Amino acid sequence: MMSPNFFHRNLSILLIITYLLFGKSYDLFANTGHPTNMLDSIKAALFDPEGLELNVVWEYNFGGEKWKGDGILFLLGNDYLKLTLPHQVILIKKSTIMSYYPETDQVIIDYFDRNDNSNIFSILLGDFSGFSIASEHNVNVTDRRVVLESNSLIGFDRIEMTLDQDDWIPKTILGEAGKDIKIMITIVSSSLLKNPDALINGTLVGAEIIDFRE
């Protein structure tokens, strides 16, 4: 097991190289009473105009090194996202991404490219391009499992999602890239965002600010 300092320094790198891609959707539920475009339904659920607050368990396996921690993911439409983890805070506001590292009291600011298929946050706020649905089936009366396969050689080979058929918010998202990279996001609970203005107007502060946009 790596020391905590490894994760303090490298969590941002792990987040960026997590090629969590969704795929192109097609009509899965015609004549069933379900939405006819499942991935669009997931996007609509995540981009609830009132915003979402998701309690998550965030897990990585990167080259055999593992990290796991509880966090909170805040979403408002597809322009605002905040993820709080024990050793890092990520804040995205439209075209800007900020990362705060408590260990060094640093904030790093850069441009956010929502079309970057190698960035998990671009996928969470993006258009679900890059994968096609390979299979889907009911796990039980409430959950549906969907397997996505990559349309390209870049990023994860396979994405597996377990969905709540009542609201289409994912319960779990598993992404794998070969044998070396794996990410698992478990959504423990979800609720409407309590204070959207705090997310819209929020910022990250630290003793040192490094702005790569300059």
Q: What is the DSSP string of 160-171?
A: EEEEETTT--EE
Per-residue pLDDT at 117 = 64
Contacts of 73 (CB under 8 A, 6+ apart): 52, 53, 54, 56, 81, 82, 83
Alpha helices in 18-104 (DSSP H): 38-46
Tokens encoding 99 = 């990362």
- Closest residue by Cα to residue 176 from 160, 164, 189, 191: 160
Per-residue pLDDT at 173 = 87
Per-residue pLDDT at 127 = 67
Tokens encoding 2 = 């790596």
Answer yes or no: are the C-beta atoms of 85 and 102 closer than 8 Å.
no
Regions of the chain short of the pLDDT cut 50? 1-9, 13-14, 16-36
Domains with residue ranges and CATH for the chain: 4-208 (2.50.20.10)
